[in-house]
Structure 1
């Protein structure tokens, strides 16, 4: 079964957006792939904090990460 994708939108400072675009181009990486990696890394850092305060959450995160 194909993975279902969803769109994420947000606003960034102009200099951060430009740096991100340049880094992705130089690394020959799509912005989607880079954002997915960044979000997964961010979630991995935050999950221990979430698990401490919400006991039932851990199972959900293990499926995603």
Structure 2
């Protein structure tokens, strides 16, 4: 597998995951959205938590 193919496959996988759990639900105005271009309020909270957890994990590995 070429690097570009791996990158494309990985990017599509991340995009699919984000669509499934971060940008479906209520937006900041309380409007129900499904696979919106932006994440929902809860989606942003979840993403922030995931990034923080991974950052802590990487720092502890050093």
Instruction: Tell me the TM-score range normalised by the shorter chain.
Output: 0.3 to 0.5
Q: Given the two structures, how large is their TM-score scaled by the length of structure 2?
A: 0.36
Task: Select the structure that is richer in strand.
Answer: 2
**Normalised by the size of structure 1, how large is the TM-score?**
0.34
**Structure ranking higher in helix proportion:** 1
Higher relative contact order (CA 8 A, sep 6+): 2
